[in-house]
Amino acid sequence: MRGGSARGVNVGRGERDVVARGARLDEAARALVDDHGRAVQAVRTALKPLLDEMVRQELDVIPVARLQDVTEGRLRLGSVEEGGLRTVGQVLDAGPYRLRQIPGVGLRTVDQILAAARRLSEAAYETVAVHIDVDRPEPRTSALVIALHVLVEAGPDARRAVDAAGGLAARLGPLLSDAGPAAGRVRMLLAGRDGRARALAAVGELRTVVDEADQAGTPGLLAQASVDLLRGSAGDVAAWVDFELRSAEYYSLLAEISATAPDSAAAEGFLPEEVAERVRGQHLDDAHRRVSLRGYQAFGARFALAQRKVILGDEMGLGKTIQAIAALTHLAAEGQSHFVVVCPASVLVNWTREIEARSALRVLPLHGPDRHDAFADWKGRGGVAVTTFDALRGFPAPGGGEVGMLVVDEAHSVKNPKTLRSQAVARWTERCGRTLFMTGTPMENRVGEFRNLVRMLDPALADSLGERDAMTGSVAFRKAVAPVYLRRNQEDVLAELPSLQRIEEWEELSASDEEAYREAVRAGNFTAMRRAAYASPARSAKLNRLREIVREARENGQKAVVFSHFKDVLGVVREALDTGSADDGPVFGPLTGGVPPARRQQLVDEFTQVTGPAVLVAQIQAAGVGLNMQAASVVVLCEPQIKPTLEHQAVARAHRMGQVRSVRVHRLLATGGVDERMVRMLEDKDRLFDAYARRSAVAEATPDAIDVSDADIARRIIEEEQARLGVTGTASAVSRMAPETSEPKG
């Protein structure tokens, strides 16, 4: 008996070390959960006064009569209104004592009135959403931005660490409790036979948990996340600048913490319940993803994974690219190694940059003269191959199971099955187990075109679709196509998002663009370098992308404003966008410095009064101050400005009080030349301008009050480009700057 007991209490250093390691891991996990909880509570504390004020404003305009609706007409409120209480807010302020002083209002009625008023108040808290005005910061919104900044800076890694910490704490707590006696011989002796058995079993499980955590690098992940959460904000200026750069991430966190997510049915595209339930059950791995998703975006990625071959038709600006990347990173975590993205040449660079920035996936552009070498590299090593519709035709279709997912951007480009590009996409789709078509063009009223796309994904479903499906209404149409089609509109899911989204559109210059650019560099002509991308309109990469942006805006019934510094560029733009079709809407302008001020306003008024899509083409210096263009929800900047003040003021013409839709700003940029150098050289000064000058009434009124650029920038860029291209300059940068830095007359 004593021998058996001795063996039962024999605890070695190994067991004690396991318990100690488990205790340290548990302590780190619980500390991180607490640190995160405090950061979240700081956001809630900063949010509360803003919500309180918004709810109060809501209640102050709700008439007392609405209390009848809450109580199904059981209340008699005439005496209350006669007593001077006309809104629900006034009723809550009055409280029970004052209400009881009103003749004809008894104790039971007072209780019913206050209960109904509180129900309306609770409903208001669930529906209001705080919007942060970057142009009118005040102490309360600054406190909220600073509190959010801590969590945003910690990033997705901190979220993963917190999730891991919560899971570890839940597992380790009971195991450590059971394994406690194994921490020492005396405790083991006193634990009894059952206690000793539990302790040894728990030690075995603990060893597994801590070994797995060590192999996954979890202790380091937890420690780094705690450091990030405890670091705090760098200050209100840094927080506000970061908010403007990453506002979507701030609003995503804010919606999550305040529980003001959009209606779930809208976020799920009003899919039938049986489809939506299957999608909700789809796991989404984020191990290789470097960006957080909003709820509707996570659902979109799950839809693509669960349904395997689908069309994601979200309205422009909802992050279709991010959803595609989320699906790719999930498949990579499951062991898939080869993926293909097919897109127009105008967005190939954007896709490459987005995948590099938003994921840990290897990306290879298959474009240009070396595309076949790149294809061979991709075949051998894997990654995400990004190619164009035309280039895809030159690659052999894959074998079954070789490609984890095929993504086709701007999929409406392959709606005609007779074209070679459509046939190439169809071949690849047939060989790929998963295919994601992406288009921001609404398909409900284009059943014929839609059927052609669906046929590549699900021929049987395509055969079942008829014109009647669209004519019976949007809900019926979406039910019929639910297995393959998901579309969400901005108004359904962007209630909690910022009203301004900035999108950098990087383009590779075409051969003719490049030729014009080299000639401008050789001449040392800075303004010609900046305009070179539009010198040959028929083959202009920037102009092609501009057409696509405006086309999609028109398809969605939106108005667009296109800005350029240069009058000749505006002429090219107007000619390219004026299709003459009534469905595309009119093109106004160009609005330049030579147009009298009264006529400028008249152009803006005519643009605003159009029902449906329209385009206004404007010189950025002439339209940057004094004109309100809040009818526009899409803004395109044809080139970067040497004075960031001009860009900020031009965007502010559309992004201002009275704008009811999210404003998207597309900045057209060419890789490898003057645009890229300008962006890099002006970036730091631009951030400082955002932090200080833009909040100044003086800066708003006078663009030159804070000039963050000078002729040295132009001179340096010309010299660097002449060296890069190996050409000898023939003119001075300063002389070529003169026409551009002067302001337009009128």
pLDDT digits (tens, 9 = 90+) for 426-455: 999 999 999 999 987 766 556 778 889 999
Distance, in Å, from the CA atom of 90 to the CA atom of 121, rounded to the nearest integer, reads 12
pLDDT band at 695 (very low <50, low <70, confident <90, very high): very low
Taking residues 493-500, what's their average pLDDT?
A: 58
pLDDT digits (tens, 9 = 90+) for 535-550: 999 999 999 999 999 9
Is 597 exposed, middle or buried, given 0-12, 13-18 or 19+ CB atoms closer than 10 A? exposed
**∠ Cα 410 365 431 (to 5°):** 65
Q: Which two tokens stand for residue 585?
A: 């809407």
* pLDDT at 460 > cutoff 70: yes
Distance, in Å, from the CA atom of 19 to the CA atom of 205, rounded to the nearest integer, reads 10
% residues pLDDT > 70 (the chain): 82
pLDDT digits (tens, 9 = 90+) for 322-366: 999 999 999 999 999 999 999 988 678 879 988 998 999 999 999
Taking residues 405-432, what's their average pLDDT?
A: 94
Distance, in Å, from the CA atom of 119 to the CA atom of 69, rounded to the nearest integer, reads 11
* pLDDT at 38 > cutoff 90: yes
246: helix, strand or coil? coil
Alpha carbons within 13 angstroms on the beta-carbon side of residue 522 total 8
User: What's the pLDDT score for residue 497?
Assistant: 44
> pTM for this one?
0.61
Cβ-count burial 100-137 (b if 16+ within 10 Å, e if not): eebeebeeebbebbbebbeebbeebeeebbbebebeeb
Distance, in Å, from the CA atom of 268 to the CA atom of 420, rounded to the nearest integer, reads 34
* pLDDT at 551 > cutoff 90: yes
Q: Which residue has the higher pLDDT, 665 or 266?
A: 665
User: What's the pLDDT score for residue 254?
Assistant: 85
Taking residues 593-599, what's their average pLDDT?
A: 78
User: What's the pLDDT score for residue 699?
Assistant: 32
Q: Which two tokens stand for residue 594?
A: 């030579």
Taking residues 137-142, what's their average pLDDT?
A: 89
User: What's the pLDDT score for residue 426?
Assistant: 96
Distance, in Å, from the CA atom of 282 to the CA atom of 275, rounded to the nearest integer, reads 11
What 8-state DSSP symbol labels residue 314? Answer: P
Q: Which residue has the higher pLDDT, 28 or 703?
A: 28
Give φ, ψ of 128 to 5 degrees.
Answer: -75, 150
Distance, in Å, from the CA atom of 625 to the CA atom of 563, rounded to the nearest integer, reads 13
User: What's the pLDDT score for residue 260?
Assistant: 62
Distance, in Å, from the CA atom of 21 to the CA atom of 28, rounded to the nearest integer, reads 11
* pLDDT at 710 > cutoff 70: no
**Alpha helices per DSSP H over 180-294:** 185-190, 192-215, 218-231, 236-245, 247-258, 264-267, 273-280
* pLDDT at 557 > cutoff 90: no
Domains of the chain: 1-260 (no CATH), 261-493 (3.40.50.10810), 500-741 (3.40.50.300)
Q: Are 588 and 528 in contact (CB under 8 A)?
A: no
Q: Which two tokens stand for residue 117?
A: 């008023």
Distance, in Å, from the CA atom of 27 to the CA atom of 169, rounded to the nearest integer, reads 8
pLDDT digits (tens, 9 = 90+) for 272-301: 999 999 999 999 998 899 888 888 899 999
User: What's the pLDDT score for residue 570?
Assistant: 94
- Of 86, 40, 80, the C-alpha closest to 61 is 86
Is 254 exposed, middle or buried, given 0-12, 13-18 or 19+ CB atoms closer than 10 A? buried
| Strand ranges (E), 79-176 | none
The rounded mean pLDDT for the chain is 82
Distance, in Å, from the CA atom of 353 to the CA atom of 346, rounded to the nearest integer, reads 13
Omega of the bond prior to 590 within 30 degrees of 0, cis? yes
Q: Are 127 and 259 in contact (CB under 8 A)?
A: no
| Strand ranges (E), 612-720 | 614-619, 634-637, 663-670
Q: How far is CA 178 from CA 19, 173, 201, in A?
A: 10, 9, 8
Distance, in Å, from the CA atom of 104 to the CA atom of 110, rounded to the nearest integer, reads 10
Q: Are 196 and 202 in contact (CB under 8 A)?
A: no
pLDDT band at 262 (very low <50, low <70, confident <90, very high): low
- Of 488, 156, 127, the C-alpha closest to 296 is 488
Q: Which two tokens stand for residue 402?
A: 């070789």
